[in-house]
Amino acid sequence: MVNFDELRKIAEKIEKGEYEKIEPSRLAKMIDHTNLNAFSTKADIEKLVKEAIEYGFFSVCVNPVNVKLAKELTKGSEVKVCSVVGFPLGQNTMELKIREAERAVEDGADEIDMVINIGKLKERDLDYVSAEIAGIKKIIGDKILKVIIETCYLEDEEKVIATKLCVDSGADFVKTSTGFGKGGATVYDVLILSNTA
Q: Could you read off the pLDDT of 23-62 as tens digits, one per residue?
A: 999 999 999 999 999 999 999 999 999 999 999 999 999 9
174 pLDDT tier (thresholds 50, 70, 90): very high
Residue 76 CA to residue 62 CA, distance in Å, equals 19
Choice between 2 and 23, residue whose per-residue pLDDT is larger: 23
- Output the domain CATH number for residue 130: 3.20.20.70
Domain that holds residue 188: 4-196
Residue 18 has what pLDDT? 87
- pTM assigned to the model: 0.93
21 pLDDT tier (thresholds 50, 70, 90): confident
- Tell me what the mean pLDDT of segment 172-189 comes to: 94
For the chain, give the percent of residues with pLDDT over 90: 86
Number of domains within the chain:
1
144 pLDDT tier (thresholds 50, 70, 90): very high
- Tell me what the mean pLDDT of segment 159-181 comes to: 97
Residue 1: pLDDT over 80: no
